[in-house]
Amino acid sequence: MNSRQIGKSGISASAVGLGTWAIGGWMWGGTDEHESVRAIEASIDAGLSLIDTAPAYGLGRSEAIVGAAIKGKRDKVVIATKCGLNWHSGKGGYFFDQDGKPVHRYLGADGIAYEVEQSLRRLGTDHIDLYITHWQDPTTPIAETVAVLEKLKAAGKIRAIGASNVSADDLGHYIDAGQLDATQERYSMIDREIEGSLLPVTRRHDIATLSYSSLALGLLTGMIDPERTFGGDDQRKDNPRFSMANRQKVARLKQAIAPIAERHQASMAQIVIAWTLAQPGITFALCGARTPEQALDNARAGAITLEASERAAIDAAAAAHLTAMDA
């Protein structure tokens, strides 16, 4: 597994990271906690060290599952978790409801101080390696938020600072306020908007970028066949990206890049992850897994190095087949 640096923090982690939104169950049709623990353990055993979670993933459930899985293995993992989505107070701006609770975007000092202690407790650790503001709070100046995070860093409760779901202006304010080690943004073959807006800035300032939804909620695994249906609160149930037409587009992409996959003895998902990690400015690719088999498949992608000609062929195939995916 290749390792990469988290900005200027001095922390290194596996290039492929385990994203645990689905493990929390919320918006994914529930979760099997025992199987989720096995998936995390399989990831660690395969050399994957970066684990990304958040309090909002099941109102603490994902963090608690991660904490159970890493017990006795804390020295083998780099934990990234988040703050700023608060269901404990009415401060900040209303964002959404989860399990009947209103969740607000709030990055004030009191909110962060409360959240970090709750995350440390659920994760069963005395420090968080990378602490990320989950969604930005327009009611709190970014400079105030960074000042609080710097105090937590000085106290040893966090080791590095990150920000997620930022605009170009937000990113500039974070850079002006202090040392920003990482951003976490949606990025995949389908979602490439940050290539022109954020990545040139993060590259210039040596800020790591963690891509989330690297496999587009599983669509780019090539494993979503025409018969697959989604139930419960699974967000993919009514998502236009999972239309039959789009599944057929992904099938054609899979066929087009099959020779490359065969050359590397890899799955389509592994090739997509390797392509993601080869993009300028993308430091880590976060990929969800709820079974040991999925975890191992993702982890193996970290050892694949694509040639320039292969990357060009994949780019051409994506341009030809992944069009109007939100229509």
Which amino acids are annotated catalytic? 57
How many CB atoms are located within 10 Å of the residue 121 CB?
13
The SS3 assignment for 162 reads: strand
CB 227 within 8 A of CB 197: no
Is the separation of the CB atoms in 235 and 217 below 8 Å?
Answer: yes
| Cα 277 to Cα 2, 61, 82, 194, 282, distances in angstroms | 10, 29, 22, 14, 6
The torsion region of residue 225 among left (phi > 0), alpha (psi -120 to 50) and beta comes to beta
What residue has token string 């993992």? 77
Integer Cα distance of 182 and 171 in angstroms = 10
Q: Which two tokens stand for residue 106?
A: 């709030």
